[in-house]
Amino acid sequence: MMRSCFRILLSLALLGSCQQVAQDPGVYGPSIELVHIYNDEFPTGIAVSSTGRKFSNYPPSLDPNNTKYNVAELTSYDTEFPYPSVEINSPPGGFINYTTGSPAGANYPNYFLSVQSVVIDAKDRLWVLDSGRASTPTGASVLSSYGGPKLIGINLSTNEVFTTILFPTTVAYSDSNFNDIRFDLRPSTTPSGQGIAYITDSSTEGRNGIVTVDLGTSQSWRHLDNVPMVHVEFLSTPVIWGEPVYSVTSAGRILSGADGTDGITLSSDGETLFWTAVGSRYLYSIPTARLRDNGPTSELMAQGAISSHGQIGTSDGLETDSNGLIYTGNFGLNAINIFDPATGIVSVFVRDPRIGWTDSMAVASDGYVYFTENQLWRTPSHYPGTDRRVRPFALFRAKVMGNGTKVQLM
């Protein structure tokens, strides 16, 4: 267009008949910086420590070729090393137990099987959330076995595991997919005083909900099981980089969205929990007190306490900064949005053609929001069912607005 316009300009030099019309500039907000490229395994999450150490996870549920490590430290611009050890990333016999009637997740509490999320808490400890559900080479995610679904805490000074919390089968169903997690270490949150964690169950099999974990007693319980707000939305289909995003089930059926509640983040005061389903455009929240309560009427109270914040765009991960702003993905607009709980207004934080499927975000204490771009909609589990990803995958960062930084709930 520019060139033909230029030619017309040359030939009609003095006629002044060629005018530019307004167009989408394609970029908006702060510039984004490429921090790391992933040339090897397919990443989802990102965690950044107070000293700038970076960790990612690579769930074999989303890519059966993620066999060498579930968690790695990003050791340079383009290298990664299994974390906290090669051994914990190498379960004997693999992630899947093929000796059972039909293949199932291994029952190992001491090995990573399919890590969905890595998060660093306010005490600078790394937490690893394992769904226990790797995929077979044909891409079918197996059911978990007790021992597989777990939460592992790692001390970043010693690089050693300091706790392992297993979920009973009444909390992590065999078809659950524990996806993402947030921490509130304030002693006031529980009688045991060691803080609390909230987890999304994004199961594509549909038993979605929110799980609460008492980090002092290791007890966990579910809330909001199967309410519409944790489910995929009816026929909600984003388009990323011009490509429609439909899920393809392992049985070959094409659906408009499969993952239930997935993105999760706390308000900066820890009193409200926000979530989104990947197969939905809505943002919801609930007072965290309703999730910590596990009494006889607590589910009734929780269901009555959900707020809808309307359609904010399709998002995977969510994140919060110290100014209380909530960062959400916005598939289809090449953007990351901001939801301001103080006004209810959704606005664009940053746009860039390199942004597509923003998988996970982490606001770090250096005042940047780090985010992974992993082309998840181009994996074989999405229409048309072929692998269309182009390596490398990317980790970017952008400066947070208003000098915002990491929220420290402790």
Ligand X SMILES: *[C@@H]1O[C@H](CO)[C@@H](O)[C@H](O)[C@H]1NC(C)=O
Residues 278, 314 contacting (CB under 8 angstroms)? yes
Specify the residue, 99 or 102, whose C-beta has the smaller distance to ligand X. 99
d(CA 132, CA 139): 15
Least distance CB 170 / ligand X (angstroms): 19
Specify the residue, 107 or 303, whose C-beta has the smaller distance to ligand X. 107
Is the bond preceding 84 in cis, omega lying within 30 degrees of 0? Answer: yes
Tokens of 330: 């916005």
Specify the residue, 132 or 209, whose C-beta has the smaller distance to ligand X. 132
Specify the residue, 131 or 280, whose C-beta has the smaller distance to ligand X. 131
d(CA 73, CA 75): 6
Least distance CB 94 / ligand X (angstroms): 9
State the residues that interact with ligand X by CB under 6 A.
63-65, 97, 99-100, 106-108, 123-125, 139, 145, 155, 157-158, 380, 387, 402-403
Specify the residue, 313 or 380, whose C-beta has the smaller distance to ligand X. 380
Tokens of 277: 């389903």
Specify the residue, 139 or 149, whose C-beta has the smaller distance to ligand X. 139
Q: Any residues with CB less than 8 A from the CB of 355 and at least 6 apart, and which?
A: 32, 334, 335, 336, 373, 396
Least distance CB 40 / ligand X (angstroms): 12
Least distance CB 150 / ligand X (angstroms): 13
d(CA 382, CA 132): 22
Task: Indicate the residue type of 164.
Answer: T
Task: Indicate the residue type of 268.
Answer: S
Best CA proximity match to 356, nearest among 396, 385, 398: 396
Least distance CB 367 / ligand X (angstroms): 9
Least distance CB 157 / ligand X (angstroms): 4
Residues 360, 117 contacting (CB under 8 angstroms)? yes
